Amino acid sequence: MNWLRSIIMPEIQGWQHARDVDDLFMFILYVSIILYAIIAIGVGYFVWKYRRRRENEVTPDFSHNTMLEIVWTVIPTIPILVMFFWGFSTYMHARVAPADALEIKVVARKWGWDFTYPNGMTFGQEMHVPAGRPVKLLMISQDVIHDFYVPDFRIKQDVVPNRYSTIWFEAEGPGEHVVFCAEYCGLDHSNMLAKLVVDTEDQYQQWLERKAEEVMNMPLPELGKLLYVSKGCNSCHSVDGSRIQGPSFLGIWGQTHRFTDGTSAVVDEDYVRESVLQPAAKIVTGYEPVMPSFQGLLREREIQALAEYIKSLQP
């Protein structure tokens, strides 16, 4: 009956778990079809057999049949118990990652995914993993509820704010897969996609090195743009002039800003550096002192990059 499977489910390119999920799905489908057929045929047969043939016809008065009742209770219970134990063990398998899994941190936000690798680096909307190695995702949302969904792997897990959730998989071979957000999370929900690239172990290591090198050699404004997103400045600072929690970065370079203590300063490299390392030192008038310090979280080159990026934002 593989033709039925090929109609209703996309081809699996994932891993054993995906096949288990499909097998269970097909088992439930077949059991449902068989039960439906027995009931539908039975109904049809009895409607025909006990149709009214004569005026004033009276049917025999049965109250029950113990044997029949035991049979129709016990027999359907068996496949249902199979469904439960099979489903439970498949579910547990997907929940509990092996202890030696490669851990990738995932941050979901409106509307994208950030993937942080064991070397501490984050490189944007493409996730790379090695084939043949369990990969565990430690996920959290920066804003609303999202849902990490890879149809090819048959895995799906809510990603919520204030609490970590995890999911794991082990891709069998190299290939490309799509990550969707499966929780309606606002305007650009349908564009909240990422590419999941499965490499061989060697390709994966090379990709990590090449990306790390790219970041090291990236022009400063570009690196700044990357950090603006990956370090979360974008959740409080816009680049289009609109006010979020903090002032927009658009066109502030070279301006004189006033602070709550009555002093003022020109927005330049020193000011940006101080804002990032000691945000409480100067509070822009009209704003709350809510910015966290990035002391120890940004390298000198990265601070320069952020300053260059802000400098590049002219209306």
Residue among 33 and 193 whose Cβ is closer to Cu ion: 193
Write each residue from 71 to 110 as x if it is in contact with ligand HEC (CB under 6 A), else as -, in one continuous string: ----------------------------------------
Residue 98 C-beta: closest distance to ligand HEC, Å: 35
- 238 belongs to the binding site for ligand HEC (CB under 6 A): no
For residue 105, the cross-strand partners are: 116, 138
Contacts of 117 (CB under 8 A, 6+ apart): 104, 123, 208
- 276 belongs to the binding site for ligand HEC (CB under 6 A): yes
Question: Residue from 105, 156, 189, 257 that binds ligand HEC (CB under 6 A)?
Answer: 257
235 binds, among Cu ion, ligand HEC, none (CB under 5 to 8 A by kind): ligand HEC
To 10 degrees, what angle do helices 300-312 and 220-230 make?
100
Residue among 136 and 146 whose Cβ is closer to Cu ion: 146
Q: Which stretch binds ligand HEC (CB under 6 A): 33-41, 54-62, 197-205, 291-299?
A: 291-299
181 binds, among ligand HEC, Cu ion, none (CB under 5 to 8 A by kind): Cu ion
- 289 belongs to the binding site for ligand HEC (CB under 6 A): yes
Residue 196 C-beta: closest distance to ligand HEC, Å: 27
82 binds, among ligand HEC, Cu ion, none (CB under 5 to 8 A by kind): none
The contact set with Cu ion (CB under 5 A) reads 146, 181, 185, 192
CA–CA dist 18, 171 (Å, integer): 10
Residue 309 C-beta: closest distance to ligand HEC, Å: 8
Cβ 200 vs Cβ 206: under 8 Å:
no
171 binds, among ligand HEC, Cu ion, none (CB under 5 to 8 A by kind): none
Cβ 31 vs Cβ 79: under 8 Å:
yes
Q: Each residue of 232-270: b (16+ CB within 10 Å) or e? A: bbbeebbbeeeeeebbebbebbeeebeeeeeeebebeee
146 binds, among ligand HEC, Cu ion, none (CB under 5 to 8 A by kind): Cu ion
CA–CA dist 240, 250 (Å, integer): 6
Query: Exposed, middle or buried: residue 298 (CB in 10 Å: 0-12, 13-18, 19+)?
Result: middle
Q: Report the 3 state secondary structure along 24-49.
A: HHHHHHHHHHHHHHHHHHHHHHHHHH
Q: Which stretch binds ligand HEC (CB under 6 A): 28-36, 173-181, 184-192, 239-247?
A: 239-247
C-alpha gyration radius of the chain:
30
Contacts of 169 (CB under 8 A, 6+ apart): 14, 15, 17, 134, 135, 150, 153, 155
- 274 belongs to the binding site for ligand HEC (CB under 6 A): no
127 binds, among Cu ion, ligand HEC, none (CB under 5 to 8 A by kind): none
Residue among 90 and 235 whose Cβ is closer to Cu ion: 235
Residue 212 C-beta: closest distance to ligand HEC, Å: 20
* CA proximity to 215, closest of 119, 71, 311: 119
State which amino acid sits at residue 108.
A
CA–CA dist 108, 141 (Å, integer): 5
Q: Which stretch binds ligand HEC (CB under 6 A): 2-10, 61-69, 188-196, 272-280?
A: 272-280
Length of the chain as a residue count: 315
Which residues contact ligand HEC by CB under 6 A?
Answer: 231-233, 235-237, 245-247, 252, 257, 267, 272, 275-276, 279, 282-284, 287-292, 294, 306
